[in-house]
Chains A and B, each alone.
Chain A
Amino acid sequence: MGVLVEAKSLYVGYKNEPIIRNANFKIYTKDFVFLTGVSGSGKTTIIKSLYGEVPVLKGSLNVGGIELNKIRKSKLSYLRKYLGVVFQDYKLIPEWTILKNVMLPMLIAGIDKKTAEEEAMKLLNKVKLSHKLDKFPAELSGGEQQRAAIARAIIHDPVMILADEPISGLDEYSANLVMELFIMANREKDITIMIASHYLPQTFNINYRQIHLEKGQVYELS
């Protein structure tokens, strides 16, 4: 497995105030990584820094061969096309239907509408939302919206999915369904998965690594 993400003596944060200090970690291709830690430990900051939303203050952060401390905005768009992002609050476009929301990364990649639509329908079927494709996000439950968000994150076969607290606030059934989707993406599509979460799932049928955050320090546990 090759190295997909490498952080060396990394400091990230806002306005020159580091939230993560002197972090060193590696994420490999096809990895399944849990980023754990209590609230405020910097999980979201790490996730955001990986798609370039939080700036690198010091050290080096390399994602897929791109140095994020030297990245230009145009290059950032290029990087993001190869990532899939899942948020706790789903971040679906409210005025778009679920189908169109899922199609988004393919439309951005310039793939024709018909192909994108077919692919989105297939995925919505997989995430058990084929009956909701014409609905708007507000008409779906939290679990359903998150499944749609995962479908959107994997539709363009990204190299890595970054998920920030994807199951918090979901009921057990929905949380399990969402985790199964991540496993499926990892196993079937070889997508590297990084999930920021307060805790590790109790029953989890996959080999994973854990990166733990505590007071801005990063520890690779397994």
Chain B
Amino acid sequence: MNSLKSHAALILALISILISIFLFRLFNNVLHQYQQNILNNYSIVIVSEKEINHLDIKEIGKIEKIDISKQLNSMKRKFKNLNLASIKMPYFYKLKLKTLPSPQKLNEIEQTLKSYPYIKRVLTYRSSQTKIYNLLMLLKITSNLFMIIIAVLGFLLIIKQLEVWKLEHNERMYIMELFGAPFWFRGAALFKIAFIDSIIALLSTFAIIFYMQNSIMYKTILKDLNISLNMNMQQEFLILLIVSFSISLLSSAVVVIGRNK
């Protein structure tokens, strides 16, 4: 029963750490995808007196000329007396950005654009962009904080478990030490427990992830947000495998090294 408790304590701690790491990566991926979606649909509109092919602003990824012929034709039909040929029409451009800018950054871009003498109007749609940006940042910070708290709790559980292990294995390791047992021999039983527990924790974590990813709610949310995740699950498995083994084996090594004299 005690042994079962001992296993459960480490497994639960590892699961909480692994899930928090996975969710941390998942949330960041989702947020990144969502930011990309917003970015694809977002652009700054400028009105210029002359044609622009290049602007010396590093945040700008692409300059697209807005075709206004449709609007001009419509105007021609509405205002038949209007002689458009006599009017020098300005040029309209959509500026696509490389990353979703913060409100401060957007302000800087706006000011830089306005400093060009031939740019007459700059439309940044700052108000709605700022709201979205702040909302995303709030989500990111909250989710990251939540994951960190779960991971810290997991680590605290492991530290507690280390104390239990020290008591459980101290005598055996001491006796082995008296007969000249090397480090790996003294810790063999602990390393075995750690290895088995990390495998169980890893498989349990992936079972939870698999269940979550196949849940209708999860799929619906991603579909509604128009997000297609590009997470490589083999890579995620490898990352969690390394984390799981590292934590459990390191914990057992700490117990073997820090054996009470």
Contacts and interface: CB of A to CB of B under 8 A. Distances in A.
A and B: real partners?
yes
Interface of A: 51, 53, 76-83, 85, 91-96, 104-105, 107-108
Given A93-B171, A94-B171, A78 B176 contact: no
A108 B176 contact: yes
Nearest to A95: B172
B178 A108 contact: no
Interface residues of B, number: 12
A51 B181 contact: no
Contact of B182 (A77, A83, A92): A77
A107 B179 CA distance: 10
Contact of B179 (A53, A95, A96, A104): A104
B175 A81 contact: no
Contacts of A91: 174-175, 178
Contacts of A104: 175-176, 179
Interface in B174-209: 174-182, 185
Q: What secondary structure prevails in chain B residues at the interface with A?
A: helix
B172 A85 contact: no
A80 B171 contact: no
Interface of B: 171-172, 174-182, 185
A91 B177 CA distance: 12
A81 B172 contact: no
B180 A79 contact: yes
A93 B175 contact: yes
B45 to A, nearest CB: 72
A78 B204 CA distance: 42
20 contacts: A77-B180, A77-B181, A77-B182, A80-B178, A83-B180, A85-B178, A85-B179, A91-B175, A93-B172, A93-B175, A94-B171, A94-B172, A95-B172, A104-B175, A104-B176, A105-B179, A108-B179, A108-B180, A108-B181, A108-B185
Contacts of B179: 80-81, 85, 104-105, 108
Nearest to A105: B179
B59 to A, nearest CB: 58
Nearest to B168: A95
A53 B171 CA distance: 15
Contacts of A92: 175
A79 B180 CA distance: 7
A83 B178 CA distance: 9
A211 B153 CA distance: 57
